Amino acid sequence: MTVVEQLNRDWQRFTPLRRLSRFAFYLCAVAALVASLRTIEIIPEFLYDAPEQMVDLVQRMVPPDWSYLKPTLDALVETLHIATVGTVFAIFMAVPIGIMGASNVTPNGPLNLLAKFIFVTSRSVNSLIWALLFVAVFGPGPLAGTFAIAFRSIGFTGKLFAEALEEADKGSIEALTAAGASRPSTFIMGYWPQVRPAFWSIALFRWDINIRESAVLGLVGAGGIGVALDTAMSLLYWDQVAVVLLAIFIVVVLAEIIVTSVRTKLI
Amino acid sequence: MTSATDQPRRRAAFPPNWRARIGFVLLALYVVYACAHMGVSLERLQVGMEHGQRFLARMFPPNFGRWELIVSGIVESLQIAVIATFFGIVLALPTGFLAARNLMPVWVTWPARALIALCRSFHPIIVAIIFVKAIGFGALAGVMALIVASIGFISKLFAEAIEEISLKQVEAVRATGAGFLSVLIMGVLPQVLPRFIGFSTYQLDSNLRNSTMVGIVGGGGIGATLFTAYQRFDFDVVLAILIVIVAMIMVAEVISTWARKVFQ
């Protein structure tokens, strides 16, 4: 190939296979969208009075019924307990499964796969559905909510913990193994210091998410502020609903501020 | 006489971390206190285990006999997720641009950020309840609720991605005399597209998971079928539906991993 030929070559950003797969992605996306839009069942009659209904809703919510503040706050404390204890339980269960799922700590293919399967199952069943299952087991109340939050969080915390373990630097681990450290010591002194910041940030992040999630568990009877919300809604006291929503909003915003400030200090 | 105090103190290779230990003790105390507050006791756990055994026994074997109902519910959940993700992305693009502090003045980013915070702070279920009240039962309420959730998630991450881009390329495009829109399309978009596809596929997964639950409050999809089966104590049908949901989400995760690889 002469220099001139080389210079006149056509430059392309992507290989043909890549272009083809990009095209396939767009095609699938558009096809899925069109198919969904054409077949979804929507009752247009309901839409005509939507603006009226919205105005009606806002009018019923204002002014909020502040006498409902006391039960709301009690339920809010319960929600915080559910979220925190649920996160603690989740971490207790997720750490061993995360260790089992990290291919460098547990070099065993079937065990890694089993851990991945547990993570996917835990994450794909929604917190509200977990709550339904645990209400059937423990009966209505915060205990069911705590277990729902714990089981739902295993997937998220465990998966991220396993990924953090897999990214750990081999140097210090090899040094410990060379010094004759047993496997538990290698884990506690080699892996743990490396993944500790990641671990705490995962735990905090999940706690923040769990506060949001535990606020709705009460809708299926699993305790917390959702029960207050459900009671007010079933009685059509929308002014009380407004108080509950406001309380949830403030707590969620506060939790996010706390998590962000603690994370910047930790990392 | 050589006593232990005369010798230089041995430095421990791994000194005990007292602050961390106290922290763990406090956490354990809190857990005990919170469990007592919530009325958790060993007795209840034991009773629960018995219930759990009966519950599991009634779940097996899973009953796929009502498969038409399951299929129609799953299809509706898929429709809700796809439509909500699409409109969520379409609305999140401009919101994300407006919230990026390196491209926009403060008086634009501030309201955009407030909107994002509002969309993010309520759980999709609560938003779904409000939409069920406003536009009635059915898939549309679920779609609207998930659109709100998608806007909150995608535009926040999108704005952060834009704030991290290299401004050199933007300046280069601007130097050729390009207008604002061309700068966005040629200077900003190519830098953030791979990450944007990443968020979008992640949000599709997340919407798929949430679309299985909006049905519990009347927002359409498989959740309604699941809740009905649960209330009728048809726990074998519940297990069948759960298996289908887990399988669907596994497939969706494989597809979105592939999409992320293609657009890397």
| Most B-contacting residue of A128, A200, A208, A249 (CB-CB within 10 A), to test interface | A128
pLDDT tens for B128-159 read: 888 888 887 888 888 888 999 899 888 888 88
Residue A221 banded pLDDT, cuts 50, 70, 90: confident
**Environment class of A115 (CB within 10 Å of its CB; exposed 0-12, middle 13-18, buried 19+):** buried
51-70 of A, contacting B, C-beta below 8 A: 53-54, 57
Point out the residue among B35, B125, B263 whose CB comes nearest to the CB of A216: B125
- Quick one: average pLDDT of A11-26? 79
* ipTM confidence: 0.77
Q: CB pairs under 8 A, 24+ apart, for B35-39?
A: B35/A85, B37/A77, B37/A78, B37/A81, B38/A78, B38/A81, B38/A82, B38/A85, B38/A141, B38/A142, B38/A143, B38/A146, B38/A223, B39/A141, B39/A142, B39/A143
Q: Which residue of B has its CA nearest to A142?
A: B38
Residues sharing a CB contact under 8 Å with residue A232, sequence separation 6 or more, in sequence order:
A68, A238, A240, A241, A244
- What tens digit of pLDDT does each residue of A244-266 get? 888 888 888 888 888 888 888 77
pLDDT value of position B2: 46
* CB neighbour burial string for B182-192, b if at least 16 within 10 angstroms, e if fewer: ebbebbbeebb
Tell me whether B80 touches chain A (CB under 8 Å): yes
Q: Position of tokens 């714990």?
A: A150
CB contact under 8 A, B136 and A21: no
The percent of residues above 70 in pLDDT, for chain A, comes to: 98
Burial B229-261 (b: 16+ CB within 10 A, else e): bbeeebbbbbbbbbebbbebbeebbeebeebbe
Of A74-78, B33-37, B170-174, the one with minimum mean pLDDT is B33-37
Residue B117: what residue type? Answer: A
What pLDDT is stored for residue B72 in this prediction? 85
Provide mean pLDDT across the span B14-25. 79
| Structure confidence at residue B1 (pLDDT) | 45
CA–CA–CA angle A89, A147, B123 (5° rounding): 100
- Residues B231-258: what's their mean pLDDT? 85
Please state the domain extents for chain B: 18-59, 67-262
Residues of B in contact with A248 (CB under 8 A): 121-122, 126
Contact list, A121 vs chain B (CB under 8 Å): 246
* DSSP state string for chain A: --HHHHHTPPP-SS-HHHHHHHHHHHHHHHHHHHHHHHH----THHHHTHHHHHHHHHHHHSS--GGGHHHHHHHHHHHHHHHHHHHHHHHHHHHHHHHHH-TTTS--HHHHHHHHHHHHHHHHS-HHHHHHHHHHHH-SSHHHHHHHHHHHHHHHHHHHHHHHHHTS-HHHHHHHHHTT--HHHIIIIIIHHHHHHHHHHHHHHHHHHHHHHHTTGGGGT--SHHHHHHHHHHTT-HHHHHHHHHHHHHHHHHHHHHHHHHHHHH-
B160-193 per-position pLDDT tens digit: 888 888 888 888 888 888 888 888 888 888 888 8
Q: Where are the domains of chain A?
A: 3-39, 60-266
Range A60-266 classified under CATH 3.30.160.70: no
CATH of domain B67-262: 1.10.3720.10
pLDDT at A110: 87
CA distance A267 to B2: 45
Question: Cα–Cα distance between B191 and B193 in angstroms, integer?
Answer: 6
